[in-house]
Amino acid sequence: MDRYRYFIFNQRNMVVLGLFQIAFSTVCVVGGFVDGIFRTESQLGETRAPIWAGMVMGVPGVLALFSSQRKNPVLVNVLIGASIISCVAILIVIVYSSLTLNYGEEEELSSAPLHVIHTKFVLHKVVKGANVAMLAASLCSAFVVLVMAYLGCRSLPRCSCYDSVTGMVSEGP
């Protein structure tokens, strides 16, 4: 039973962080769908990278919700690993949304009717707004994932701040 005694992170904090992470991943998935539907066809736009990366970004949020309810070190280790993988997915979304802010959207419309020009202008702004939202959500998500990984690392028995006698975090002088 002693091997299951470890400092469990604050449940409320992990629930809040998990919900934020799920919300940020949902913004990336929805932004990826908007980007994929309204973007003019390009090689980079066909990858649908924000949709898949957004789904990967949501995994640590779900694991944070589960690990806040169960005192299981294996679940916390999986949370830390998923947080690292999520950081790679966040980097993919950041690079994608930075590159596609203007990529593939300029097109000559001088001979097009006026309503087509207005429609293209509005869709261009919608796609740009989706990319900005994905960029902001991924930057915030990076912070949340790193905090979750830090709290997870602090709660494990192998952490240097862990006290094996009480199972709690030892306070510094």
User: Which pLDDT score, from 0 to 100, does residue 4 have?
Assistant: 43
Query: What tokens were used for 70?
Result: 């169960």
User: Which pLDDT score, from 0 to 100, does residue 9 have?
Assistant: 54
Q: Length of the chain, please?
A: 173
Per-10-residue mean pLDDT for the chain, 173 residues long?
47 86 94 81 72 91 87 82 93 88 58 63 79 92 92 70 52 51
User: Which pLDDT score, from 0 to 100, does residue 91 have?
Assistant: 94
Q: What is the DSSP letter of 170?
A: P
Written as one string, the DSSP assignment of 26-78 is: HHHHHHHHHHHHHSPP-TTGGG-HHHHHHHHHHHHHHHHHHHTTS--HHHHHH
Query: What tokens were used for 167?
Result: 């199972």
User: Which pLDDT score, from 0 to 100, does residue 159 have?
Assistant: 59
In the chain, domain spans: 1-155
Q: What percent of the chain has pLDDT over 70?
A: 68
Q: Give bridge partners of residue 162 from the DSSP assignment.
A: 169
